[in-house]
Structure 1
Amino acid sequence: MSAQIDQVSVVKKANIYFDGKCVSHTVVLADGSKKSVGVIFPSSLTFNTGAPEIMEIVGGVCKVRLDGASEWQTYGAGTEFKVAGNSKFDIETVETLEYVCHFG
């Protein structure tokens, strides 16, 4: 996993979810594909997805329960998890989580 994303445009307006518990910015790559780069502050949240996603954990630790799963999985910096399109996942963080969301 690379430490940076090169040759992108950044959408200046922040994406703010769950009363500020999750804040990200959309980056647009040269080929038109999009990613979001953000943080999730300590919380327990449920995200709904449209397109499939890969959540790359850059910093911190989280517990995740994918749609239909009964068990929680733990992810830390340098790991990632995949979420199906038109799905959802529960995430719990006890420290600020830094992530990159890769769409599609």
Structure 2
Amino acid sequence: MSNVSQQSVTQFEQVSVVKAANVYFDGKVTSRTVLFADGTKKTLGIMLPGEYEFGTDVKELMEIIAGSLEVKLPGNEAWISINGTGEFIVPAHEKFQLRVHQVTDYCCSYL
């Protein structure tokens, strides 16, 4: 797990939101893109129970706001459990796997 913590942030100020949803896995994972004045972006989304594999273009910080899941990070054989809140970092150009057990609310920051 990462020591990077932004979980105390509950609201983003002065942002733009892309209206069109990002929809994956037949609608079981969705998110909205939030754009910041400094050029950075985040996505806020929901994952329904299921098993998923994602790939990254850039380094990502995944903050789990609420839910229950397991994540298998690149280069690791063990699954990491997150119940409630937590976070993990995925390097650029890697794949990671998720087993979502309960509806999970997340924020992804592109680093």
Question: TM-score w.r.t. structure 2 length?
Answer: 0.90
Which residue of structure 2 aligns with residue 8 of structure 1? 15
**Structure 1 18/100 Cα, relative in aligned 2: closer, same or farther at 3 Å?**
same
Which residue of structure 2 aligns with residue 95 of structure 1? 102
The Cα shift of 1:77 comes to: 3.2
| Distance of 1:79 and 1:22 partners within structure 2 | 18
Find 1:22's aligned residue among 15, 19, 29. Answer: 29
Which residue of structure 1 aligns with residue 46 of structure 2? 39
Structure 2's unaligned 5+ residue stretches are 1-6
Q: Which deviations, in whole Å up to 9, do the C-alpha atoms of 1:49-98 show, x marking residues without a partner?
A: 01000000111111000112100001233311000000010001111000
Which residue of structure 2 aligns with residue 74 of structure 1? 81
Q: Which deviations, in whole Å up to 9, do the C-alpha atoms of 1:4-39 show, x marking residues without a partner?
A: 122110000000011111100000011111000000
Structure 1's unaligned 5+ residue stretches are none
> Quick one: which amino acid aligns to residue 102 of structure 1?
S
| Distance of 1:24 and 1:4 partners within structure 2 | 16
2:26 alignment partner, SS class: helix
Aligned residues: 104
Question: TM-score w.r.t. structure 1 length?
Answer: 0.96
Which residue of structure 1 aligns with residue 3 of structure 2? none
Contact preservation (8 Å) 2:67, 2:85:
no
| Distance of 2:12 and 2:70 partners within structure 1 | 25
